[in-house]
Amino acid sequence: MAAIDQRTEELTQALRTAGVRITRQRKALLEVVAGAEDHPDAVELHRRAVEKMPGISLSTVYRTLTELEAQGVIQRLQFEGEAARFEHTETDHHDHMIDVETGEVVEFRSERIEALQAEIAAAMGYEIVRHRLELYVRRKPSGG
């Protein structure tokens, strides 16, 4: 978990530099976010944050998530009919595949799709600001 601590420290410094005050609550949430390998929603993040900083409120979690999103530390995901989920900003952009049976979320990236999207937008006189691609999938029978 040393890697997470280091990542948290880096984020802390970067945020402080950006003029964001690092409170115990924010520290706790940063640790949770840096350590999350899944795609938790606000309530789940709050649940985890409470373990590190008892008493932290859900409002503070929401407020901090908004701030972290603005600072580019995390990204907000909005899947069909679900509460918003969050993920830390990776080095690379990626899209999501959601297993409709299990709810499992798999990340993927396709340069070809990215390129095609830009091409399509350009052909219609637009440039892409951001995009959202979600594949709702089911595990293949795969012969047995």
Per CB under 7 A, 60 contacts DNA = yes
- Per CB under 7 A, the list member of 20, 30, 32, 73 interacting with DNA is 20
Question: Is the distance from CB of 58 to CB of 64 less than 8 angstroms?
Answer: no
Candidates 23-31, 89-97, 111-119, 121-129; binding stretch for DNA (CB under 7 A): 23-31
* 64 burial level (CB within 10 Å; 0-12, 13-18, 19+): buried
- Per CB under 7 A, the list member of 70, 83, 113, 116 interacting with DNA is 83
Candidates 5-13, 15-23, 38-46, 102-110; binding stretch for its own copies (CB under 8 A): 102-110
Residues in the chain, how many? 144
Per CB under 7 A, 48 contacts DNA = no
Q: Provide φ and ψ at 133, rounded to 5°.
A: -130, 120
Least distance to its own copies, CB of residue 100, Å: 5
Per CB under 8 A, 117 contacts its own copies = yes
* Closer residue to its own copies (CB): 70 or 116: 116
Cα dist from 74 to 58, 88, 94, 138, 142, whole Å: 17, 4, 13, 28, 36
Strand partners, 87: 75
Cα dist from 48 to 43, 59, 63, 122, whole Å: 9, 14, 16, 43
Candidates 5-13, 19-27, 44-52, 74-82; binding stretch for its own copies (CB under 8 A): 74-82
DSSP H stretches of helix in 18-57? 24-35, 42-52
| From DNA, its own copies, none, interface partner of 50 (C-beta below 5 to 8 A by class) | none
Write out the residues near its own copies by the rule CB under 8 A: 78, 80-81, 97, 99-100, 106, 108, 110, 112-113, 116-117, 120-122, 124-140, 142
